[in-house]
Amino acid sequence: MRNIAFITARAGSKRLKNKNFKKLNKVPLIDHTLRAAIDSGCYSKIVVSSDDLKIKNYLSKKYKNSNLIVFIKRPKSLSGDKVKVLQVINFYFEKLKIEKTFETISLLLPTCPLRDKNHIKKAFKIFKKNKLDGLISITEIGFVYKMAIKINDKYIKPVWKNSPLITGNTRSQNHKKIYRPNGGIYLSDTKMFKKTKNFFKQKRLGYLIMNKIESLDVDNKDDFRLVELAKRI
């Protein structure tokens, strides 16, 4: 099975400056995702899409002997901070005619550095065993989201009409577990992706559950500190 992975790494992060090269255990953040993809042995090609030429230079030096990794400079039209990752994936999917060469396509976000090779291997194992159209890595939210509060000027109020804060049903044991995608792994059959242009519209969409620590997402300084602490455990 020929599989391709995309790692999208836009330059110019506003909340964490130079995020892609922020050192985590003396290794640039983006390299944790690269190593996971490479070491999993699951991919025939790994594409790093970015508007940051520093990443190109880094890859050309560290992985100069690798035929696995390809850097593609992102066009200006897809480099703004309002551009959605899915727009980038669909652009390259059509441009490179992915479905003609590869059987699956993956998206691995570099902001999820604690996703490792074993998670990727397990995702593919589940994908193949259950004959899925797609698979998403997820993590438990807990019922706390139902207790969300919004601020209106000087006052606060629950977001949901049936909020546990109103009903008094605040025992977590009384609520079903719910989950969210964690950005670690998005996996799809390429023929299905060509039809849906989305990782979530597949008919047979499976999942890989990752714990909350493994699912830490680096978006700002506080997130990065948490990931640093997790790496030391």
67-114, pLDDT tens digit by residue?
A: 999 999 998 888 877 899 999 999 999 999 999 999 999 999 999 999
pLDDT value of position 177: 86
172-182: pLDDT as tens digits: 777 788 899 99
User: What string of H, E and C letters represents the secondary structure of 5-61?
Assistant: EEEECCCCCCCCCCHHHCEECCEEHHHHHHHHHHHHCCCCEEEEEECCHHHHHHHHH
Q: What's residue 162's pLDDT?
A: 86
Of 107-111, 128-132, 152-156, minimum mean pLDDT range: 152-156
pLDDT score of 103 = 98
User: Taking a C-beta distance cutoff of 8 angstroms, is the pair 48, 107 a contact?
Assistant: no
Please tell me the predicted confidence (pLDDT) of residue 145. Answer: 78
Both tokens assigned to 149: 């509060």
Whether 142 has a pLDDT exceeding 80, the answer reads no
- For 47-61, the pLDDT digits (tens) are 999 999 999 999 999
Give CA 30 to chain center in angstroms: 12
DSSP one-letter string for 163-222: -HHHH----GGGS---EEEEEEEEEEEHHHHHHHSSSS--SSEEEEE--TTTT---SSHH
Model confidence band, residue 30 (pLDDT cutoffs 50, 70, 90):
very high
Helix axes 117-129, 29-40, angle to 10 degrees: 40
Average pLDDT over residues 5-28: 89
- Cα-based angle 183, 85, 116 (whole degrees, multiple of 5): 30
CA nearest neighbour of 115 among 197, 7, 1, 4: 7
pLDDT at residue 82, rounded to an integer = 84
Residue 16: which residues within 8 A CB-CB, separation 6 or more?
Answer: 22, 218, 219, 220, 221, 223, 224
Domains of the chain: 3-138+180-232 (3.90.550.10), 142-177 (no CATH)
